[in-house]
Structure 1
Amino acid sequence: MGKGNARRGSTLVASVEDETLLLAQVVISSYDAVITKTSEGIITTWNQGAERIYGYTGNEAVGQPISFLLPPGHRDEVPGILQRIKAGELIHHYETVRRRKDGRVIDVSLSVSPIKDKKGKIFGAATIARDISSDVAARRQSEEQLAAASQYARSLIESSLDPLVTISADGKITDVNEATMKVTGIPRDRLIGTDFSNYFTEPEKAREGYQQVFAKGFVTDYPLTIRHKKGGLTDVLYNASVYKDTGGEVRGVFAAARDVTEQKQASQYARSLIESSLDPLVTISADGKITDVNEATIRVTGIPRDKLIGTDFSNYFTEPEKAREGYQQVFAKGFVTDYPLTIRHRKGALTDVLYNASVYKDTQGKVIGVFAAARDVTERKRVEAELAEQRQRELDRLAELEKFQKLTVGRELKMVELKKDIEELRRENENLRRMAVG
């Protein structure tokens, strides 16, 4: 019994010794620096990894205070670390710098843990140090590149005359440019974190706009009106799209607003000119659908604007096919002049018109529709008909006069002949009388 216990004890001792030797070998051959030191920071062991990283041999380092590795400006690190170790704290992946024997300062990552005796009392510290100079250099380069890219992006954003804004998934503003501050009259720090929709005349419409972007990925030419803090209004068209992180996750919305106030004013001016025209005016798409009308068109057809727009232009004429051929000629030739048609009012009244029409184009020169103006010639046709009737009456009267003249002339000729005959008879009678006397 006693011999068995003795054998187990000796086996346990051997096992512990083997494990200790194994651990020692691991420490010695570790690629990382493994250093032990006293509670006061005096180096007690120094492995091959430490020699490789710091350039000092074990003989040079052991017995030195650990602070001899610290470059100027970092000497106060050691007391703080030792204090934390004495308190039983473990320190993981603490990034700092150390100075090698050749004077070069390197970036290191430290993991420090307390060393305890059999009774659990802390009497020193073990440090594992890894040279991360390459990683830090790469990271710094990446950060510098990122900062440069960020600065470049920022300069592009700030150089834009259009208000630009980024919006989070919950509708909060996360960034703005100078143009946004100008158009709202509110500084950046007051805008960031607030609801995007707060700065428009139609907040609900603004909210629907950015929600569409999150749902579809983008919106184009979304109309809104920005309200300045002092009350001024700016009409804009928003173009927006989602932006993503490196993992492809949607992070938010990037939105750019184009100021169309002047364009809208010009459009309103053009609209007023169109509406002031007494002639029916209409725009027609390539497929023959009405895209806009003026008040005169509404009056001549008896149909409201919203019922006209989107319907076939040719539907409102007595000769639909001729109307269709008319606008097709415009798309083919670019224009038509004095094209005759008759508009039918919904109550049956007819209006004769002459259409003058031409194509209109977008800013790139692409034909997008036909603009047509109808001149009401109903009255002119009535007058022309009356004139024609009067002319016919005059012609008929002239014919009668000519006939009468012919009769009169004939009668006069007969009178002349009769006079001649009477004169001839008188002469013959005189001759006979003379002969009788003789």
Structure 2
Amino acid sequence: MRNVTVESVDARTALLAAVVDSSEDAIVAKTPEGVITSWNRGAERIYGYSATEAIGKPISMLAHKDRADDMDGILERLRNGERVEHYETVRLRKDGRSIDISLTVSPIYDSTGKLIGASSIARDITERKRAEEKLRAANQSIDARTALLASIVDSSDDAIIAKTPEGIITSWNRGAELVYGYSANEIIGKPVSILTQPDRPDEMEGILARIRSSERVEHYETSRLRKDGKAIAISLTVSPIYDSTGTLIGVSSIARDITERKRSDERLRAASLYARSLIEASLDPLVTISPEGKITDVNEATVRVTGIEREKLIGTDFSDYFTEPEKAREGYQQVFSKGSVTDYPLTILNRDGRVMDVLYNASVYKDAQGDVLGVFAAARDMTALKQASQYARSLIEASLDPLVTISPEGKITDVNEATARVTGVERERLIGTDFSDYFTEPAKAREGYQRVFAEGFVTDYPLTIRHRDGQLTDVLYNASVYKDARGGVLGVFAAARDVT
């Protein structure tokens, strides 16, 4: 009976060693002080250090210069008995390159409950932040590492499962309990098909057949059934486990619950459709341009102003649709070099010969990693813009209340005629001067507009305007910040009500 027990321990040791050593995630063990004691192949791949180079070194060698205290904080939390889950941070590879990782760190206790180390599982999320652990079996006898390896596997929040080539579950970690709802006692010895959705009866057998044919299943997205009957979406990586002779002795799988991610994807898809509807609702011609100057997308307003269908516009040169192609080309090249342009004047040429003077606002757009994908440009018909500007100015001048705009430096940038009357100073002379100079209490006036920049607005702010002939007018100011199209604060708009 003792030999059978030892053989079982040996088999479990080899299985756990294979699971850890074949993982594409960086699985690292260290002392409570942060000295590395175990370093798997995934760690070599992700961080670039070999096990020989890393073991015995402080884990802080991976710390990014901008997060120097990151490691100490994690280790301190572990020494306090805490667990760090799915912590996203930045690490430094041997070659000096920074990488993004998702980190789960757990304490390791001995049989007396004493903290003897820490295990961490790091996933490289620089590209897609997706789960992938590569499992291979190896016939190794590592008696001294049994408890350590068991803790590493058991601490993962991903469902790590081992099964026979026929699909009988032989190993089930805490992550599997969390994901599927079954305890290890309930599930070990049962067929893995217990997790299969009723509408996918042959899927599990198909996966096992591929593994028996020496294939590997990577990032396979499917649905599984929890113990409570709830369906969950998972991302599944399934790998064969071989013994030292190359015989298939089992199958390992790592499943990550992506139910929330799937919901997010659906929300993103809905948001994308909503964004498209907003783009199409725009009356302004909108266009995206590749780094090569080709049109990659347009809205219906662009189709109308050029007289050419969307499908025929896409893939053609942006500059071909203007009276001055070279100037149009220079415009989008400026965006790529500077990041944006504003109020760039061009004249669009319709295929029927009609022309439209427009002002383009354009900026680069990027992917999630910050790489520039192209230029997004919006054209505003100048005719309508001029009419709107004139109308807005007439409304401002129609106000009997003094109106003023103030720059972040406290300078007057515009006023209406009512302000000129109450100060006795002409508009041209007011513009560019200090707003606070026209009040009996300049410091209070300065404090007022500074509050607007700090808080966004003020209401009923009392001041006294001093006319250049000495006449005083008590007023209450209502003021708020105004912004550009990108949300950047341009200044303060303030309206004074005479309360004399």
Question: Normalising by the residue count of structure 2, what TM-score does the alignment of the two structures yield?
Answer: 0.43
Q: Which has the higher strand share?
A: 2
**Bigger radius of gyration among the two:** 1
